[in-house]
Structure 1
């Protein structure tokens, strides 16, 4: 029961941070989002708001990283789709109000949260780069392409929220698929020559 309450608080905090950012969310708001009394917040997160936000952002980062890891054995397309499907679920369940809490804290003034966000983005990119290399993309291009995938999907999530539509995400995924095919094909051609 205690772990369920703690997990619910982390999940709620991730949604709230993805909606308003960490700076705009008070500890009271975070407790309300999770449906718990304010005192429970201090019980589970004795360091307060910063600890709860940090754990929420880390949990969101780990969730996406697990999606990438599970899907990358099927190739970069599957990994990309897994990321997009995860964010599609968040967008749909919040009526397009919440986006990526990792991106939200990356844009804030708190250097510790920004550093955490950058580390998470780097892990996502490294994992995607591994999938791209395994799929035939050259090791010099794979990190750039992985960064492009992460940046494009993060940008698409923001546009989806603004438009209340999945069209931006669908369009970005369609273009990324073409790019991934071309990247794999160009590597194959250069090896054949």
Structure 2
């Protein structure tokens, strides 16, 4: 898929953060990997590295939220699967070298970036909670269940990287399906 320079840089930064961590993301390495002149980074991101990381996290956050919303039209299980499939694709496409850049930033040491990543994680939880609530799960339980889903999938992504296998994510998704089915049965 052909993308403009700015978009390639945003997605390249997200991939680098998911692979190396936020502290190891450099503009020089990004320019090299994205195949753009280093000057392009300052042209497109006058705020430098900080601006690029912020935009990368917000962009990835928005893309995942859109996948959840598209899945929502087919029901809660499809929305949950859309969330899990996003990370399955990242893991498989990178040979398990890259995980979730949002989680990487959320656990980093920059408070400003951590706040942005936390907002993104909370937005995923809110979207999933809405999906679950709309499906009939108790609105008091839906936010807790959504938080559990995000935590479980993010943890599974880390295990997949450690084990170099998609099995932890696959097994986590199976258990999430059972949990959601049980919650729907409790209506």
Q: Please tell me whether the aligned partners of residues 13 and 33 of structure 1 are also in contact (alpha carbons under 8 angstroms).
A: no
What CA deviation, in whole Å up to 9, does each residue of 1:83-114 have, x standing for no partner?
A: 11111111111111111110000011111111
Matches within 5 A, 1:130-141: 130-141=130-141
RMSD value over aligned CA atoms?
Answer: 1.0
Structure 2 unaligned regions, length at least 5: none
Considering only CA atoms, is the larger Rg found in Structure 1 or Structure 2? Answer: 1
TM norm structure 1: 0.93
Match of residue 169 from structure 2? 169
| Alpha-carbon distance between aligned partners in 2 of 1:88 and 1:35, rounded to the nearest angstrom | 26
Answering whether residue 110 of structure 2 is matched by residue 110 of structure 1, we say yes
Match of residue 38 from structure 2? 38
Match of residue 143 from structure 1? 143
TM norm structure 2: 0.96
Structure 1 unaligned regions, length at least 5: 188-193
Q: How many residues get paired?
A: 185
| Alpha-carbon distance between aligned partners in 1 of 2:135 and 2:77, rounded to the nearest angstrom | 10
> Where has structure 1 moved over 2 Å in runs of 4 or more?
none
Is 99-108 or 19-28 further displaced after alignment?
Answer: 19-28
Match of residue 155 from structure 1? 155
| Alpha-carbon distance between aligned partners in 1 of 2:153 and 2:32, rounded to the nearest angstrom | 29
Matches within 5 A, 1:4-153: 4-153=4-153
